[in-house]
A and B are shown apart, each in its own frame.
Chain A
Amino acid sequence: MENDFSKPQRESAFGIIIMGAYTTFQIIKGTFFIFVIAFLKMQINDIIYVLLGAFAIILFSFVLAYLRYLKFTFFLNKEKQEFVVNKGIFNRDQVIIQLDKIQQVNINQNILQKIIGVYGLKIDTAGAHGEEVSIKAIDETAAYNLKAHLLNRDTAIDMQPEMEHENHLAEEAPFLRISGFTLFKVGLTSNYGQSLALLAAFFYTVIYEGRQLLDAFKINRDEIQSTVTGMLTIVTVFILIACLLIVLLIINLVRTFYKYFELEISQHKDALLLSSGLIAKKNTLISPNKVQITKYSQNYFQKKMHMLNMSLRQAHFGQSKKGHEMQGNTLEIPGCNPTERDELLKMILDEAPLKGKTFIPDWRFLNLPIFFKLILPVSVFLILAFNIPEVKPFIGIAIAYFAIGIMMIYISYRRHRISVNQDFIIKTSGIWDVSNEIVQPNKIQAITTFQYPWHKGVDVGHLSLHTAAGQIHFKYGNYTEIKKLVNYWLYQVESGNKDWM
């Protein structure tokens, strides 16, 4: 067994199966509903063609997978400190990754990989989107060896025996472990938004595909619509909403358990190892100094239960779709208690951040949101209501909306603050989920300050700190103080030679 990866090598031969299955799965996923329609609409004797077609697809994917396997090689160039991957069936692609640009290395195992007994390895870089490398099949020792090689580039030069890394990885006791009960609490109290989006996406596909099916069967759509509307009485609506809420909670719980089951964090030399997952176990190794923004958040329920969610944001580059890329480079740690949080913060930031001098926004912070989110829509609504009698009974809702809106905006104003000391910038914000984002001044990439001309007289202005993992805004602050802060941060960034990753 080669341990130092210095010669070009292929992945495990099982990779053919993994990749073949993967391609087949992708194709079938894309054409699933066509298949269903075809099956239902066709005569019995035509089904043989469909099966033949399916067989052809599978064969094709496996041939592709075999070719890909043949052409996919990787090796570690020790002198240049680079990881080189050759791939491409028809065109030759070579991906070269400098070791110090590697952000994190993930070792995953999906169900198929678990059955076969191999691991998948993914390398995230700070490079543009799509440059990341994914090795689909590699056995366990090789995976961990490679990971150690990729991340401990100093030891790669030292040529330490690899077995030591092995033991090191195995023996290290995790300092943070999230129990099943904590996860249960997390599932009950957080991430509703994401689950809701998931549910909405699910319903959307069901309705969309269902409509296509109906079209295919030429079922009368009006008939269904009339039966559905006939079923909608007030009682059923309430039952339906209750069901939806319960489903939402269950989905939330399942998602939380699926993603964070047996979440453990342990420390290795100068990196943190996060592992979690119910069916597919995910291991992530990151170096703390590559974390750009450390964030912890807590809502009212979680405060009562003494737990909070943390997320570590790493650099993301390229103009990729928002959200998607961010998610990939954000590590979530749900359900820590305050002591665990402090420990983790100490590990990432070297010391527990203290809040320094706190700056609060001017009351003018309230003006724009109150005008655009409350006064404008409510007055439009009122104008409508006084002209259209049908809308009139709903005026009460508008008043409630206004009251709740004012309260929420006021809370967000009270929570919006930034506190600065020598080593940290802590931005607090949020209405329901109160979040604290912690940035070290040396992670700042650029600073923008801006001011509207009508705020010149009252000395109010805005600040954005650009980091490689997103921006931190502080709005409606005292402009003189902001300018002072900017000068101070510039001095810190420019005089110190602390790198940002």
Chain B
Amino acid sequence: MSSDTSFTNETVDLDHLPKYEEILLKQPHPDYWKIICINLSVFFGLMGIGLGSILFFVDEVRPNAIWIVPLYFTVVIIFFLLFRLSFKKRGYAVRTHDVIYKSGIIAESTTIVPLNRIQHIELNEGIFSRIYKLGSLQVFTAGGQSGHIHISGIAIEEAKSIRDLLLKKLDLLENPATETEA
């Protein structure tokens, strides 16, 4: 094909290409919200203890308690709301040729990794995740830190099956080469 007829030529095809934005994304497991809550509670609990002890023991700070305590609680509430929002917005999908992950607290960002660009896959289970039988799946590409996908809060069985599916496809893709995960 000559390159001067390049792009406009393809426009006809373009409309028939599968559209990533219309894929129905799967939400994280509802139990994952509990894990987010646990994590946030631990974080803010420790912070609260720290603040409380400062307020209690340091006399100079104590008069400021009038605004420190409300501020602390507003921050806590804002964080829970933001995480709730971002939790609602997350979604993932595995297509035959790529993995899609959507996330974002304010801006909605969608990252797509074609399967034939995956370098390796990681499946993590945290302490709290284990209680709820959840896992998080990470898909790495050669695109560095920015070009990788981290999907949290998938039921562990499903995560494992996704992992196996991806690995199988990777093997198929690299069938002639003996390359395994780098």
A residues neighboring B (CB under 8 Å): 126-127, 315-317, 319, 351, 354, 356-357, 420-423, 444-453, 464, 466-468, 470-471, 483-484, 486-488, 490-491, 493-495, 497, 500
Contacts and interface: CB of A to CB of B under 8 A. Distances in A.
A495 B144 CA distance: 23
B110 A448 contact: yes
Given A448-B111, A486-B20, A497-B116, A357 B143 contact: no
A107 to B, nearest CB: 26
Contacts of A446: 111-114, 117, 141, 143, 147-149
B147 A483 contact: no
Contacts of A466: 141, 143-144, 146-147
Contacts of B6: 354, 356, 421-423
B122 interface: no
Report which residue of A356, A447, A452, A464 has the largest number of chain B beta carbons within 10 angstroms of its beta carbon. Answer: A447
B106 interface: yes
A445 B141 contact: yes
Contacts of A470: 144
A448 B108 CA distance: 10
B142 A317 contact: yes
Interface in B90-117: 97-98, 104, 106-117
Q: Tell me if B's interface is mostly helix, strand, loop or mixed.
A: mixed
Given A466-B143, A483-B20, A422 B7 contact: yes
Interface stretch (B11-19, B24-32, B37-45, B159-167): B11-19
B4 interface: yes
Contacts of B14: 484, 487-488
A178 to B, nearest CB: 29
Given A354-B4, A450-B108, A451-B107, 13 more contacts: A351-B3, A356-B3, A420-B7, A445-B143, A464-B146, A466-B143, A468-B144, A483-B19, A483-B20, A484-B14, A490-B97, A490-B112, A491-B17
24 contacts: A315-B142, A317-B144, A319-B144, A354-B3, A354-B4, A356-B6, A422-B6, A445-B113, A446-B147, A448-B109, A448-B110, A448-B111, A450-B110, A466-B141, A466-B147, A468-B143, A470-B144, A484-B14, A486-B112, A487-B20, A488-B10, A490-B112, A493-B116, A495-B97
A320 B67 CA distance: 42
Contacts of B4: 354
B1 interface: yes
B181 interface: no
Contacts of A451: 107-109
B7 A357 contact: yes
Task: Kindly list the 4 A-B residue pairs having the minimum CB-CB distance in the complex, ordered from nearest.
Answer: A466-B147, A466-B143, A445-B143, A450-B109
A427 to B, nearest CB: 15
A494 B116 contact: yes
A487 B18 contact: yes
A494 B98 contact: yes
Contact of B146 (A354, A422, A471, A486): A471
A319 B19 contact: no
A490 B117 CA distance: 11
Nearest to A495: B97
B7 A494 contact: no
A452 B112 contact: no
Contact of A452 (B17, B106, B182): B106
B3 A423 contact: yes
A375 to B, nearest CB: 21
B64 interface: no
Report which residue of B9, B10, B19, B147 has the largest number of chain A beta carbons within 10 angstroms of its beta carbon. Answer: B147
Interface string B118-145: 0000000000000000000000011111
Interface in B152-182: 182
Contacts of A420: 7
B21 interface: yes
B8 interface: yes
A418 B12 CA distance: 21
Nearest to B117: A445
A464 B147 CA distance: 9
A497 B108 CA distance: 30
A450 B108 CA distance: 5
A352 to B, nearest CB: 9
A422 B3 contact: yes
B108 A447 contact: no
A494 B143 contact: no
Contact of B143 (A421, A467, A483, A491): A467
